[in-house]
Structures are given as structure tokens and as C-alpha cells.
Amino acid sequence: MREIIHLSSQKREILIDITRQVEAVVSGSGIKQGLVNVYAQGATAGIMIQENWDDSVQTDVVHLLQKLIPRGVWLHDAQDGNGDAHLKSGLVGPSETVPVIDGKLGLSTWQNLFFCEFDGPRSDRSVVCTVLRDQAD
């Protein structure tokens, strides 16, 4: 089963919590045991599992990536000025796979799923959620 989540970003670089939307996809699938793959479409975005309790963690992730991969120093910047966004998305990666256990995401208490925007703001970003059923389910 596959569903696309659409969202918008309000900043150039931000982590957006998409856990509730992914939970709704899993719930709507009716699958009790399996996997859900969450995939960011676009070469300047990513998906990350990160702590959900304190927003400073998400801010720290953005600040770390800004220090590791600064703007304006990459060859690709000559084309469209977002070389850093491509590198950040490559480092973070486009997807995460989470177990589905008894119809719920198998995340721990302190984990959530985040869409990582590295080239915003954008009015329409797409996240593909693919839910796979265990054969025993």
C-alpha cells in the first residue's frame, strides 16, 4: 500500500515532524505487522528519525549540518545556489524504514520521523509512504 504525504516548508532549513501523518497512513493501511518506508522525493530533502521531546535537538541538527556543509562554497552553487542542500540531503539520506508492530509505528518513546528541508521554503514537498505487510500477517 502506498500513499503520498504533501507538506510545505516555511524556512530554508528545518526539520518538520511528520510522525502523525505517517501514523495515519499506517492506520489506514490496515496492516498490523510489517514495515513502512518513508521516502522524501526531491534532491534537496531527507528523512530522519530523531528525538521528539525537545525542539532544540532538531535545531542542533540544522546547525550542525550548516557548520559541516556551509552555503556558497560548492561547485553546484554556480548552477542554482543550493549546492549545500544537495550535500546535506545526501548525508542525511532520502528515507527511513520503521517496523509496523500491532498496527503502530515501532518507534521508541523518544523517536519521531522528520522531513528534513534543506532548500526551502517550498509550497509542495512530497513524502512517499509505502507500507508492506509481513507474510505472516
The answer to whether residues 103 and 25 touch, using CB atoms and an 8 Å cutoff, is: no
Grid-cell match 561547485, residue found? 75
- Cα–Cα distance measured from residue 25 to residue 34, given in angstroms and rounded to the nearest whole number: 13
- Domain assignment present for residue 65? The answer is yes
- Domain assignment present for residue 34? The answer is yes
**Number of Cα atoms under 13 Å in the Cβ half of residue 102:** 1
Q: What is the pLDDT of residue 12?
A: 98
Length of the chain: 137
- Domain assignment present for residue 19? The answer is yes
For the beta sheet containing 122-133, the strands, ordered from the edge strand earlier in sequence to the opposite edge, are 2-9, 122-133, 33-40, 95-101, 104-105
Q: Give the amino acid at 82.
A: N
- Domain assignment present for residue 1? The answer is no
Run of H or E residues at 22: helix 19-29
DSSP-derived 3-state class of residue 48:
strand
DSSP-derived 3-state class of residue 16:
strand
DSSP-derived 3-state class of residue 102:
coil
Q: What is the pLDDT of residue 136?
A: 75
- Cα–Cα distance measured from residue 43 to residue 62, given in angstroms and rounded to the nearest whole number: 17
- Domain assignment present for residue 30? The answer is yes
- Cα–Cα distance measured from residue 22 to residue 49, given in angstroms and rounded to the nearest whole number: 12
- Domain assignment present for residue 58? The answer is yes
Structural domain for 31, as ranges = 6-133
Helix ranges restricted to H, 50-123: 55-68, 77-80, 83-92
Q: What is the pLDDT of residue 39?
A: 98
Number of domains composing the chain: 1
- Domain assignment present for residue 83? The answer is yes
CATH number of the domain within which 109 lies: 2.60.120.460
| Rounded mean pLDDT for each run of 10 residues along the chain, 137 residues in total | 97 98 98 98 98 92 97 92 97 98 97 98 98 88
pTM over 0.85? The answer is: yes
Q: What is the pLDDT of residue 135?
A: 86
Q: What is the pLDDT of residue 38?
A: 98
